Amino acid sequence: MKKRIAIIGAGGRMGLSLVRQVLSRSQTHELVAAVDRPGQPRLGKDVGELAGLGPIGINLTDSVNAAFNNAQVVIEFSSADASYHHLRNAVMEGVPIVIGTTGFNEHHQQAIQAAAETIPIMLSSNFSLGVVIAEAMVEKAAALLDEEWDIEITEMHHRDKVDAPSGTALSLGAAAARGRGRSLNEVGVHGRDGFTGVRKTGTIGFTALRGGDIIGDHRVIFAGPGECLEIGHRALNREIFAQGAVRAASWLIGQKPGLYSLRNMLDL
């Protein structure tokens, strides 16, 4: 039996990559709905044609209910506020959901935690498998290197990205903090400017760069006495994120309620 997948945010660049990935697995996967926010000029058009694959008989709609009517799992890439409302639909319908949205505030995060008591949720700021492995490496390195090794994280994305630092940069920072038995809220430093004084030992600094059409470039720098260690990842195309998200959706079907990450899926 094919795995029935619905996509929310299907009209955007990432959404259309997800459409292509699901359709490329037509022997084992079925796209049952493609949803985007109201007011989009592409609404009503065949999503297969929008994705450059020819008509498939599924039109882009703004009906969120369509995503949950016949799907075994929903993949959601939208905005933080919209994702919060989609999460409520997922809970009401008992449908697992893969969330790739970033920029959540504390209220959103609490809602995700509460929903995970009822349904399986996969939450990730980056669905690249390479990033997940880099995150594990960062945590291990932070555990092995003491606080004489300063940690700085740089990230660069395209000019249209609206949140900073990126969700991936924050995840990498959280991994580094965990490696040292700390919380990122305790040790994270953002937006240095002006006369800042000397660097405080044990902090994790962030620098966000924006420009051009860069998909995503992340670097974690461990600057120690006399040497530097750098762990990085560069995304060369968006299809890697779609591949990871569809793989995550397939894995999530049949899981028990809970909040999962790609590290759970990869058993890292």
Looking at residue 246, its pLDDT comes to 96
- State the number of CA atoms in the 13 A half-sphere of 119 facing the CB: 24
Q: What is the rounded (10 degree) CA torsion for 184, 217, 6, 262?
A: -50
- pTM above the 0.85 mark? no
Q: In which region does residue 30 sit, left (phi positive, over 0), alpha (psi from -120 to 50) or beta (all else)? A: beta
Which CATH number is 129-235's, of 3.30.390.50, 3.30.365.10, 3.30.360.10, 1.10.390.10?
3.30.360.10
Fold of 3-123+238-266: Rossmann fold (3.40.50)
Contact 231/141 with Cβ under 8 angstroms?
Answer: yes
The domain limits of the chain are: 3-123+238-266, 129-235
- Which tokens is 97 given? 């959901």
Looking at residue 199, its pLDDT comes to 95
Per-residue pLDDT of the chain in tens (268 residues, 90 and over written 9) = 899 999 999 998 899 999 999 999 999 999 999 999 998 899 999 999 999 999 999 999 999 988 898 899 999 998 889 998 899 999 999 999 999 988 888 899 999 999 999 999 999 988 999 999 999 999 999 999 999 999 999 999 999 998 899 989 999 999 999 999 999 999 999 988 899 999 999 999 999 999 999 999 999 999 999 999 999 999 998 899 999 999 999 999 999 999 999 999 998 7
| 129-235 shares the fold of 3-123+238-266 | no
Q: Read off the pLDDT of residues 153-176 as tens digits, 9 standing for 90 and up.
A: 999 999 999 889 998 999 999 999
| Burial (0-12, 13-18, 19+ Cβ within 10 Å), 44 | exposed
Q: Which of 194, 127, 182 is nearest to 151 (CA)?
A: 182
Catalytic (active-site) positions: 157, 161
| Burial (0-12, 13-18, 19+ Cβ within 10 Å), 144 | exposed
Angle made by CA atoms 164, 165, 166, in degrees to the nearest 5? 90
